Chains A and B, each alone.
Chain A
Amino acid sequence: DQQVKQNSPSLSVQEGRISILNCDYTNSMFDYFLWYKKYPAEGPTFLISISSIKDKNEDGRFTVFLNKSAKHLSLHIVPSQPGDSAVYFCAAKNFGNEKLTFGTGTRLTIIP
């Protein structure tokens, strides 16, 4: 049972435009959400996170939105750059629990 779902395996976006990556979760106990970015042959690197007490968190070009009622979060990248081409993983946890549950990932390709 996949508790964190990323339904789009891949996404292509023109350089300079907005990239929107989506993530849905089913476990209502999750209250902390993270996005990780992964380049080939490297480990995932932390990008941005959001607590369930917020509905938006921003860090430079990256913004994460959380819709608790819909159990949905999204990552916006504006403007998209070629270096953003990577696989993006959504992850969730219960803040009192160390275990992270990951989604299956979305491969983002930025077209120059």
Chain B
Amino acid sequence: NAGVTQTPKFQVLKTGQSMTLQCAQDMNHEYMSWYRQDPGMGLRLIHYSVGAGITDQGEVPNGYNVSRSTTEDFPLRLLSAAPSQTSVYFCASSLGREETQYFGPGTRLLVL
């Protein structure tokens, strides 16, 4: 099992550009989520999904879109990047909403 994989590892964007952060898991986990980590802020939940076709907002959803067309993939889209979105992004998955979450290695995003 590869576990939770994220691509790219690092990305530089200009303000206003769009991009998609990829997340995939091969553990047949129903629950997937996206977090961002900022200095002094811990990890904050952006969006989550309890299964294919179902998504919901977390604590800091503004500026981000998600979709869940398959159990394996949960991409995070930035439609118009802003410097405030400079952060490290982590994807996580778990068997169910009550189970322990497994995290990917992260994507470091810099928006200029």
**Chain A contact residues, CB within 8 Å of chain B:** 2, 4, 34, 36, 41-46, 49, 89, 91, 95, 97-100, 102-105
Contact = CB atoms under 8 A, between A and B. Distances in A.
B53 interface: no
B110 to A, nearest CB: 15
Contacts, number: 51
Contacts of A105: 42
Interface of B: 4, 31, 33, 35, 40-45, 48, 50, 58-59, 90, 92, 97-98, 100-106
Contacts of B103: 36, 43-45
A43 B104 contact: yes
Contact of B45 (A2, A36, A89, A99): A99
Given A43-B106, A45-B103, A104 B42 contact: yes
A99 B45 CA distance: 8
A42 B5 CA distance: 11
